[in-house]
Structure 1
Amino acid sequence: MKLSKEAILKQANLACKNTLMETLQIEMVDYGEDFLVARMPVNSRVYQPDGVLHGGATAALAESVGSFATHVFIDTEKLFVRGIEITANHLKSVREGYVYAKATFIHKGRTTQLLDIRVTDESDNLISLCKLSTISLPKK
């Protein structure tokens, strides 16, 4: 049975309880056939010392949405997902508002997956461009 968009987003957000995603206030907000979008508020929780979005928080947002995108598209009864490599090119600073991370697949293999994750601000300006490799491993 295929879950609805709302059910997938609800499941994703419930899975974030008591995790880094909850600490950073990351929320999954949109889902489609080949993408997943999350948002994160830019505030003192995610600042570097000079009051702008920390690159590590941006990478955490990207890895969270990318890993969950892979999770949505695999058989979670048999497999689990782990991130194995992430790159992030930070292009612009942000001081307030929200940033949005949209994860789309470059490669959706049975074992490894490669995702493109574009992090933008509320005006759709590109803040960071990330790539994430994930691996789907059998549950024991």
Structure 2
Amino acid sequence: MTTYPAHLDPELIERLVDSGGGALPHKMGIEFLELSAEHSVARMPVEGNTQVIGLLHGGAHVVLGESLGSISSAIHAGPGRIAMGIEINATHSRAVTSGYVVATCTALSLGRTLATHEIVVRDEEGNRLSTVRMTNILKDRAE
């Protein structure tokens, strides 16, 4: 079950609940466990998200990281504003073939126009699998 901070934009909560975090994260089985601008956590099954030789797909790591970084940035942006990714990179350090992975998103910089997060993806034993860094631009929502 996801915990939402009290100050979270009600419209953002509604979009998260209605979409499961978006069509792609929903299809990939991503579950959001904690959400805030400073610290967010999600998990994702390996099964269904593997590449041809059975390893968790590197792109799945990035989708998990970008989902957390984008939502955390949108929370920071606040009501009437949006977050859009402008840069993302990932370093994969280790492979996994089963179970779940857990991603922890930590804010590196939360400004008025930019938000940068580091997302660390780990296996169930706590081994670091990948490190994702993402920057979002924060803008007023067009009416």
- TM-score tier (shorter): 0.7 to 0.9
Q: Tell me which of 122, 125, 128 is aligned to 2:124.
A: 122
The match for 1:64 is: 67
**Who is 2:38 aligned against?**
34
Structure 2 unaligned spans of 5+? none
- Gapped runs of 5+ residues in structure 1? none
Letter in 2 for 1:83: G
CA RMSD, 1 decimal: 2.3
State the alpha-carbon separation in 1 of the partners of residues 33 and 85 from structure 2: 21
What is the rounded CA distance, in whole Å, between the counterparts of 1:14 and 1:132 in structure 2? Answer: 25
Q: Where do 1:63-102 residues align within 5 Å?
A: 63-76=66-79, 78-102=80-104
- How high is the TM-score relative to the length of structure 1? 0.86
1:13 touches 1:27 (CA, 8 Å); kept in 2? no
Render the CA deviation track for 1:8-44: whole Å, top value 9, x for unaligned.
988745442660011001110124672000110001x
Q: Secondary structure at the match of 1:102?
A: strand
Aligned pair count reads: 135
Structure 1 stretches of at least 4 aligned residues deviating more than 3 Å after TM superposition: 8-15
| Structure 1 counterpart of 2:57, from 49, 54, 58 | 54
SS of 2:26's partner is helix
CA–CA distance in 2 between the matches of 1:94 and 1:138?
Answer: 40
C-alpha displacement at 1:137, in angstroms?
1.2
CA distance 1:31–1:56, change in 2 (3 Å): same
The percent of aligned pairs where both chains have the same amino acid is 32
